[in-house]
Amino acid sequence: MTLRVVFRLPFRQTEGFLDSPLSLIGLDLKAPDPTTLLRRNQTVEVPPLTRVHDGPIYLVVDSTGLKILGSGEWNVHKYKESRNRRDWRKLHIGVDDEGFIVAANLTASSGDDASTLPDLLDQIEAPIRRFTADGAYGHRSIYDRVGAAGTEDVVIVIPPRRSAVSPRPTDGPWAQREAALQRIRKVGRREWQKESGYRQQARVENGFFRYKSVFWGGLKARNSIAQTREAMIGCHILNRMIELGRPESYAVVS
């Protein structure tokens, strides 16, 4: 299934792709036929996105849309038809401070970012030292949920909406929103973003850029279960690429 995701091959082309190396190395084996591949596409077990961390992590979350590629896309390209509304899914991911995807979930296009966060947090074993997200996550329930999953001194960086008012009461993790409001009123939103480290949100945006650059921002599977597996395999592939591409660096003391 990894070959199919990376090279965006239909099932019959995947069969031919696998037959070629098998014949070159002289193995008397046949690649699975398209029907078998289709059946396995809906039952293959994808391991969780676990990564061992020595201590608390910095977590950045966001979501993006993925098109469902198929005959609808082909008709739009050939006949320039854009009146029919095309379907899509929403991919939610969380990355650590090194850019590795540590949690992911695929929902319908109507999936709410804030309501999906508990599923992402449940996939992370390490405690959270710092949590960064955009304004879509600016609900009190999110602050409480992150506070429960984080360390005692967890830092939550979520930009309040421009029309936000000071809430009452402001206790626990929710007090950090009031502090952000007061600071924004004093120094401005742009300066607050620099001070608070909100620009670390770019780490998850880079993750989406890599995903769409490698996989063309679409899902080839038709079944919703297979689409989820396809997206999770894509996240594993990106993590593996990051791991292989990272240089082994160390400090040089002169």
In a domain? residue 185: yes
Same-domain status, 82 and 125: yes
Tell me, rounded to whole angstroms, the distance of Cα 49 from its chain centroid: 11
In a domain? residue 220: no
Q: Using an 8 Å Cβ cutoff, are 48 and 120 in contact? A: no
Residues pairing with 128 in the sheet: 57, 150
Give the domain range for residue 34. Answer: 1-41
Same-domain status, 74 and 37: no
What's the whole-model pTM score? 0.82
Same-domain status, 22 and 105: no
pLDDT tens sequence for the chain (254 residues): 555 555 566 666 677 767 777 787 887 777 777 677 667 766 778 888 878 788 899 999 999 999 887 655 555 655 665 555 567 899 999 999 999 999 999 999 888 899 999 999 999 989 999 999 999 999 999 999 999 999 999 999 999 988 888 877 778 899 999 999 999 999 999 999 999 999 999 999 999 999 998 888 888 877 888 889 889 989 998 998 888 877 777 778 76
Q: How far is 177 from 43, CA to CA, in rounded Å?
A: 43
In a domain? residue 176: yes
Residues contacting 144, CB < 8 A, separation 6+: 172, 173, 174
Same-domain status, 3 and 112: no
Kindly report the CATH number assigned to the domain that includes residue 119.
Answer: 3.30.420
In a domain? residue 129: yes
